[in-house]
Amino acid sequence: MSARPSPATTLPRSGSAAHLPSVAEAPLAAQGDSRISPRAHARHIGALVRRNLLWIRQDPESVFDAILMPIVFTLLFVYVFGGSIGQSLGGGQDAYVQYVVPGLMAMTAMNIATAVGTGFNEDFQKGVMDRFRTLPIGQGSVLFAKIVVELMRMLVATAILMVVGVLVGFDITSWPGLFASVGLSVLFGSALMWIFLVLGVTMKNAQSVQAMGFLVLMPLQFGSSIFSPTATMPGWLQNFTDYNPLSALADAARGLMVGGPVAHDLWVTLGWTAGLTVVMAPIAIHKFRTKS
């Protein structure tokens, strides 16, 4: 995954209708996050989101990864591995389509979350964050706006994934299950983003963030039930997949969309989501405030 500019925190060109208070409008450091009301926080997040949606509109190439990634991976896994793995599922390529498309939803959440850290780090290197940290706005608002915009990109990628999935033969048997799966992926993806925001703040450059994301991404994705059933894996690897949150997310999405057990995997995914958010969000906000 190549490094790209961060749409959620990059300043747009002049003429943007969205407004953030300038340094002259309030004393520096006069307002910490604790002294800014929730309503003001929401207003700051909204202004940052609007600014960066305008930036994306001016630079549509920044969403190419969200558009192309689900197309490439769906076609690759269905037509390269679908025949062989589908046979083990007892139904050939058609059976594999039903298996892998819900799993790819989990992979999409992971990939979009990984890109957050790279873009966030680039913003620090370019001095964008220095500007935001001098403004009388809630410092957490910058991170929340980043997550909101990236979740929008995730929804775009998920919508494209489902369209491509239907075109290659995926049968949506439960529309409520589909929407529940999308909501679950969004929740889990937002929790993962806090991890990569921490990496984006603490690591020296975008290349380091990208390398670390790759090291995290590969074992979690391929040591899971996203692409194939885990029954034929070695015992030690099956033990890893049992605790892998991507397996729980993929299996929960599968159960919701095509039928099967749901409750256990749903609660495991929600537990990971809550745990990661509670632990990593305060760390990310603290690192952002104190980064020199």
pLDDT of residue 271: 96
Domain assignment present for residue 126? The answer is yes
Q: Is residue 4 part of a domain?
A: no
* pLDDT value at residue 292: 60
Predicted confidence band of residue 13 (pLDDT cuts 50, 70, 90): very low
Asked if the model's pLDDT at residue 220 lies above 80, the reply is: yes
Q: What is the pLDDT of residues 164-192, one digit of tens each?
A: 999 999 998 889 999 999 999 999 999 99
Task: Pick the closest to residue 114 from 2, 281, 266 (CA basis).
Answer: 2
- Is 147 a member of any domain? yes
Q: How far apart, in whole angstroms, are the C-alpha atoms of residue 281 and residue 143?
A: 9
Higher pLDDT, 195 or 64: 195
Residue 249 near residue 275, CB atoms below 8 Å = no
What's the total number of domains in the chain? 1
Q: How high is the pLDDT of residue 154?
A: 92
- In a domain, residue 117? The reply is yes
Dihedral pair phi/psi, residue 7, rounded to 5°: -70, -20
HSE value, Cβ hemisphere, 13 Å, CA-based, for 104 = 27
12 within some domain: no
pLDDT tens digit sequence for 272-285: 999 999 999 999 98
Helices (H), the chain: 38-58, 64-76, 82-89, 92-126, 128-134, 139-167, 175-202, 206-222, 235-243, 245-258, 263-290
Give the domain extent around 57.
37-290
Whole-prediction pTM value?
A: 0.81
Q: Is residue 96 part of a domain?
A: yes
Q: Which two tokens stand for residue 270?
A: 């929600």
- Per-residue pLDDT reduced to its tens digit, 240-286: 998 899 999 999 999 999 888 899 999 999 999 999 999 999 999 88
Assess if residue 17 is contained within a domain.
Answer: no
Cα 201 to chain centroid distance, Å, stands at 17
Q: Average pLDDT, whole number, for the chain?
A: 82
User: Counting beta carbons within 10 angstroms of the beta carbon of residue 225, is it exposed (0 to 12), middle (13 to 18) or buried (19 or more)?
Assistant: buried
Q: 14 in a domain, yes or no? A: no
